[in-house]
Copies of this chain bind each other. A is one copy, B any other.
Amino acid sequence: MNFTPERRRVTIHDVAREAGVSITTVSHSLNGKGVVAAATRQRVLDTAERLGYSADAIARGLRSNRLGVLGLVIRPLDTLDSYQPVGVDYFVRFAGAAAVEALDRGFGLMLVRDPTTKNVPGIALAVDGFIISDPLGHDPVIELLQRNGIPLVTVGRDVDRADFTDWLGLGTDGDTRAVLNHLTDRGARRVALVIGTDTNAWNADSEQSYRVWAAERGQTAMVFQQDETAGEPGGEAIAERMLTAAKQQAVPDAVYCLTGRHAAGLQRRFQLAGYEVPADVMIVAGSDSEQTRNSTPPITSIDLAPEITAKAAVSFLVRRIEGDIESSPPVIENVLRPRQSTNRVAVG
């Protein structure tokens, strides 16, 4: 036995007829809009309750241009081309938290892949607003949404779009300095940085902060780049390059990898070459993940707190949708989780 019953909703007309009033009065009573006598209003409310009426979201959406749905685009997943990157729990946690927060505010949350591609459902452009996580430089998605007048908020700014200010900072500068200071506190002298290749703010700002920090200390900057999709083998490859440096002097005694997978692979390769972690080289990851938690030794990481970021993003977007032009985006605070990979006492 299968159920595909007649889809007959109880409409506002039914309530109006039953309560002996016009649909206007029903609408007003339910939404507290017009002026309606208390007694009448109560009668309408009761019959609506009795009939199990609730306004059709689509019809309402058509009339009031407000669907009650937020769109979420996670750009790194678009480029990763797989939505199941094993061990990367940041985005999942982000999406889950965003969904819950949206629900709490009376919105649904729709996951959407790059809406500039063909075959994207029309509904994508009908949502009330978008959260774009980690946009690329000159991101065409932002372009498209702006052209359609759809409110949007990004998590991490578009590095090539200085005039767009509705973004939440990721606290990248603070994080980077926290990591670098943590490392030098433990005696690191030559800290290298490994970033990804996506043109997003996380990569760009981390590099920028690192270079400034290095310059302040008169240290030569050592920046390596590796594709986000390369995973642990990508980390190994970078380690390979570091180890085969021309002069032994140039081999770093601490490495800050933004992604956890690079960090895990890199640490393994260093160990294979006979380096002790943390004694000979210390490792830090910019994003906590399964790999950082479970490497041997466990890798010190920034816990990116996607739940907090997601909540903030939803709340910020909702304010924008509701016409709050002023409120400025909150600043996200992340926390450094020291683990064994940097558990070394400072050397005078």
A contacts, CB < 8 Å to B? 1-9, 54-62, 65, 67-69, 77, 83-84, 86-87, 89, 92-93, 95-97, 99-100, 103-104, 106-113, 119-126, 146, 148-151, 163-166, 290, 293-294, 306-307, 320, 323, 325
Query: Which one of B4, B59, B96, B103 lies within 8 Å of A84 (CB-CB)?
Result: B96
CA distance in complex: A328, B69 (Å): 32
Query: Which one of B86, B89, B95, B164 lies within 8 Å of A3 (CB-CB)?
Result: B164
Q: Which has the most chain B C-beta neighbours within 10 Å: A3, A87, A97, A146?
A: A3
Question: If the complex has contacts A58-B58, A290-B294, are A166 and B122 also in contact, measured as CB distance less than 8 A?
Answer: no
* Copies of this subunit: 2
A334 to chain B, nearest CB (A): 15
* B67 pairs with A96, CB closer than 8 A: no
Contacts of A86 in B (CB 8 A): 89
A47 to chain B, nearest CB (A): 19
CA distance in complex: A121, B113 (Å): 22
Contacts of A320 in B (CB 8 A): 4
A329 to chain B, nearest CB (A): 11
Question: If the complex has contacts A97-B84, A149-B5, are A68 and B111 also in contact, measured as CB distance less than 8 A?
Answer: no
* B106 pairs with A54, CB closer than 8 A: no
Question: If the complex has contacts A119-B103, A126-B56, are A84 and B307 also in contact, measured as CB distance less than 8 A?
Answer: yes
Query: Which one of B65, B93, B109 lies within 8 Å of A111 (CB-CB)?
Result: B109
Query: Which one of B65, B84, B96, B122 lies within 8 Å of A93 (CB-CB)?
Result: B84
Query: Which one of B77, B109, B122 lies within 8 Å of A56 (CB-CB)?
Result: B122
CA distance in complex: A61, B125 (Å): 13
CA distance in complex: A165, B69 (Å): 31
Contacts of A87 in B (CB 8 A): 290
Shortest Cβ distance from A98 into B: residue: B111
Known: A4-B323, A54-B125, A60-B122; 20 extra A-B contacts, CB below 8 A, are A4-B325, A5-B146, A7-B148, A8-B149, A56-B122, A56-B126, A58-B67, A62-B62, A67-B123, A68-B123, A69-B110, A77-B96, A83-B99, A95-B95, A103-B112, A103-B113, A104-B119, A108-B112, A109-B111, A293-B294
Q: Which has the most chain B C-beta neighbours within 10 Å: A77, A95, A307?
A: A95
CA distance in complex: A87, B60 (Å): 40
Contacts of A112 in B (CB 8 A): 99, 103, 108
CA distance in complex: A120, B108 (Å): 8
CA distance in complex: A123, B70 (Å): 11
* A123 pairs with B8, CB closer than 8 A: no
* A68 pairs with B121, CB closer than 8 A: yes
A110 to chain B, nearest CB (A): 5
Contacts of A107 in B (CB 8 A): 121
CA distance in complex: A100, B121 (Å): 12
User: Can you list 29 pairs linking A and B with CB atoms under 8 Å apart?
Assistant: A1-B165, A2-B325, A7-B65, A7-B150, A55-B122, A56-B62, A57-B123, A57-B126, A58-B61, A69-B69, A69-B121, A83-B93, A83-B97, A83-B100, A84-B97, A95-B111, A99-B112, A99-B113, A103-B112, A103-B119, A103-B120, A103-B121, A107-B121, A108-B111, A108-B112, A109-B110, A110-B110, A293-B294, A294-B294
A144 to chain B, nearest CB (A): 11
